[in-house]
Amino acid sequence: MDRGILLRTSLFITCYNDTLFPGTGKAVVRVLERLGHTVEFPRGQTCCGQMHYNTGYQAEAAPLLERFVTQFQDAEAVVIPSSSCVAMMRDHYPKMAARMGKPDLVTGVERLLPRVFEFSEFLTKRLGLEDVGAYYPRRVTYHASCHGLRNLSLGDGPMRLLKAVRGIELVELAGLAECCGFGGTFAVKNADVSGAMLAEKTAAVLDTKAEVCTACDNSCLMHIQGALHRQKTGVKTLHLAEILAGEEGAGS
Amino acid sequence: MSGTALDPKTAPAFPIAARAAMKDSQLQRNVHHATQVIQTKRARVVAEMADWQELREAGEHIRRHTMEHLDFYLQEFEVNCARAGGIVHWATDAEEARQIVVGLVKASGSDEVIKIKSMTTEEIALNQALESEDIHPFETDLAELIIQLGRDQPSHIVVPALHKNRKQIKEIFQREMHLADLGDRPEDLADAARSFLREKFLHVRTGVSGANFLIAETGGVCVVESEGNGRMCLTLPETLITIAGIDKILPRFEDLEVMLQLLPRSATGERMNPYNSVWTGVHAGDGPQTFHVVLLDNGRTGILADWESRQTLHCIRCAACQNACPVYRQTGGHAYGSVYAGPIGAILTPQLQEMHYAQSLPYASSLCGACYEVCPVKINIPEVLIHLRQKVVEQNAAQVSNSFDIEALGMKAMAVTFRNERRFRAAQRMGRAAAKLLPRKDGWITWLPGMLGGWTQMRDLEEMPQETFRDWWQKREKDDR
């Protein structure tokens, strides 16, 4: 295992991971510390504003952008275990800041964004790693979330990380580029269509006979897991970080 | 007689129409199959172009430049078209366009017209207007003929009868063409249509077309097609009337070099369309001797004025976004309540209605980005969808009757919560307490109230963990000290 350079990382956990998936945050900390990096957690952090922005409440999202910049402006590297939140920042923060008419904020966003990384991207692109010393003896399939796939161009980065995990049995998911149907408030506003898209995704997951479906975004996984549980399939979903945190003898 | 035109003003909201459409399993199978076939063909012919991304960029550049100078190029087109013998008309809205066309057809002395497939004529419900004046329109595109004979409506921009399979088409043809005996092989159906249409081509004296492109530099009009019916309509009639949105302008003839590579590959997965027609004005002894162009605004200037959604007008109507869209593939086109369905319809339709109708369409997307990825002129449809959602929210907020809008109140309350870490922590605690009141089973929530019920329609929700990440972190920091 090559550790690469050592950094002072700042974790932006995101509002929903903080509240609903604390295990993902702990796993990110575990992986980063195992690799020798320090992890900081700016206390004042809350939410990136994605849900508000994407639903049309852009005025409500604006102060959250400001808050994020204030909290993280001095970070050496911001690590975020949510591909859609990172996409929100990269795709929309620059023009949001420009629209707010605050030149300092525009500069702040410009300076900060190159230091913002989605978790798997931080490992593969910033650190140039594939093997992070993980052990996870299960049959696993990987769901490429749309924002990770298209907006962040994660490519095969997450798959390369998974392939390097000892003990893992990795199975490819058919229709990798297909949306799972979550889409934030879409899942509620267009519940029928979202459900039909979800049914295709869970069928593909079940076809792999995997025990675990992983991804770089817990929001897709919460949606997929919700149906897998409703259908009593016994298949679990788990954020990529939690697989990469797996260690021999630690139980998984 | 044509069926009732799709009308965004009276269409049900998308989630309701979608639910109804998804009950039709035959329709779902047809749409799944057809979009899959076209997507596979498209992927193959796009992959063989080493410079596809550069072509897309060139296409985007041409379209952006055109929209930035649309006033100039429209006038240039008018001058050059008139110089070549064409007559240019301007229509502010659908009603004016219908009146102009009906008047022109009457003046041509014909009570029948042959038509080339044109979504713009569908947009203005031209067939219904002609019929109400006792003028009989004959659709000559195979798919449009199926739609017309079936008193149906188009569900796809390029393949309007995509929601019908061969058996269903055979039944329509048999019934409407009075054919005792008809197979359902593609050649049987094409033969039937050919015999049915041949006589119309030969005797109807007035043709109506849309346009793929209007070329400002020459005053020429370009139509691409696969069947050859278009070529017949453009050459045989005495009078030709073309109806085109003002967004169809291309500055120069050589811009076709880019567009005629992008369009067929994106639309039908062909390297080139079998028929590419470009005509300029009239020519003595050759083709129609009277040629009119009706330039239609119908809401387009309003879109042009909004710089954040102006890119909507860059669309060249290839429908690649429809084929790629996971929402469209579930519902088919009719659920969008407009001739423009799928992702492009979700942004175009409400804007053509000046945001007075079809406000549910910008939400008919999971923002997965598949549309943007395939768009030959790189329209960032997700970005425009979000922009239009903001307009809908602002519109709702401005209505007094909506002062008790649960969604808006919830969103505002959450936004206030996120502005302060202590408030956020308090909300996390409150959420945990409130969740305890919900019906649960073995650590899973199976029912949620109100609009959140959409979630538990198909999914369970795991109970909130007892400890948030930040609580854990705080404890860990304390232990370290």
**What CATH number corresponds to the domain at position B106?**
3.40.50.10420
Q: Give the range of the structural domain holding residue B474, as residue numbers without chain letter.
A: 406-480
CB-based contact B457 A44, cutoff 8 Å: no
According to DSSP, residue A217 is labeled: -
Domain spans of chain A?
A: 8-126, 139-244
Cα separation, B70 vs B192, whole angstroms: 43
| Domain annotation covers residue B113 | yes
How much is the pLDDT for A4? 64
CB-based contact B419 A178, cutoff 8 Å: no
Claim to verify: residue B296 and residue B412 sit in the same structural domain: no
Res. B402: pLDDT tops 70: no
| Domain annotation covers residue B343 | no
Contacts of B460 in chain A (CB under 8 A): 226, 229-230
End position of a domain, from candidates B273, B302, B331: B302
Q: How many domains does chain B have?
A: 2
| Domain annotation covers residue B390 | no
Interface test with chain B among A14, A28, A46, by most B beta carbons within 10 Å: A46
How much is the pLDDT for A62? 96
Contacts of B461 in chain A (CB under 8 A): 222, 226
Neighbours of A191 (CB within 10 A): 24
Contacts of A230 in chain B (CB under 8 A): 446, 458-460
- A17 interfacial to chain B (CB closer than 8 Å): yes
State ipTM.
0.96
CA A138, A143, A149, A155 torsion: positive or negative?
A: positive
- CATH no. for A8-126: 1.20.1050
Average pLDDT (B39-56) is 98
Cα separation, B357 vs B313, whole angstroms: 19
CB-based contact B424 A46, cutoff 8 Å: yes
Claim to verify: residue B111 and residue B238 sit in the same structural domain: yes
Cα separation, A7 vs A16, whole angstroms: 26
What amino acid is encoded at A15 in this protein? C
CB-based contact A150 B18, cutoff 8 Å: no
How much is the pLDDT for B479? 87
Question: Closest-CA residue in chain B for A20?
Answer: B464
Contacts of A18 in chain B (CB under 8 A): 428, 468-470
Claim to verify: residue B272 and residue B159 sit in the same structural domain: yes
| Domain annotation covers residue B401 | no
Q: Which of A162, A159, A194 is nearest to A179 (CA)?
A: A194
Q: What is the pLDDT of residues B343-358, one digit of tens each?
A: 999 999 999 999 999 9
How much is the pLDDT for A251? 55
| Domain annotation covers residue B66 | yes
End position of a domain, from candidates B278, B302, B326: B302
Claim to verify: residue B292 and residue B426 sit in the same structural domain: no
- A186 interfacial to chain B (CB closer than 8 Å): yes
Cα separation, B263 vs A33, whole angstroms: 52
CA distance B457 to chain A (A): 7
| Domain annotation covers residue B375 | no
End position of a domain, from candidates B302, B329, B359: B302
What band does B437 get if pLDDT is binned at 50, 70 and 90?
A: confident
Res. A117: pLDDT tops 80: yes
What band does B406 get if pLDDT is binned at 50, 70 and 90?
A: confident
Neighbours of B425 (CB within 10 A): 18
Res. B295: pLDDT tops 90: yes
| Domain annotation covers residue B388 | no
Question: Closest-CA residue in chain A for B443?
Answer: A229
| Domain annotation covers residue B334 | no
Q: What is the pLDDT of residues B103-112, one digit of tens each?
A: 999 999 999 9
Contacts of A223 in chain B (CB under 8 A): 459
Cα separation, A162 vs A164, whole angstroms: 5
CB-based contact A197 B366, cutoff 8 Å: yes
What band does A252 get if pLDDT is binned at 50, 70 and 90?
A: very low
- A49 interfacial to chain B (CB closer than 8 Å): yes
How many CB pairs lie under 8 A apart between chains A and B? 191
According to DSSP, residue B211 is labeled: -
How much is the pLDDT for A3? 55
CB-based contact A193 B414, cutoff 8 Å: no
Interface test with chain A among B39, B366, B423, B446, by most A beta carbons within 10 Å: B366
User: What are the φ/ψ torsions at residue B330 (nearest 5 degrees)?
Assistant: -80, -35
Q: What is the pLDDT of residues B59-81, one digit of tens each?
A: 999 999 999 999 999 999 999 99
Q: What is the pLDDT of residues B250-291, one digit of tens each?
A: 999 999 999 999 999 999 999 999 999 999 999 999 999 999
Res. A198: pLDDT tops 50: yes
Burial B110-145 (b: 16+ CB within 10 A, else e): beebbbbbbbbbbbbbbbebbeeeebebbbbbbbbb
Q: What is the pLDDT of residues A133-154, one digit of tens each?
A: 999 999 999 999 999 999 999 9
Q: Which fold has domain A139-244?
A: Rossmann fold (3.40.50)
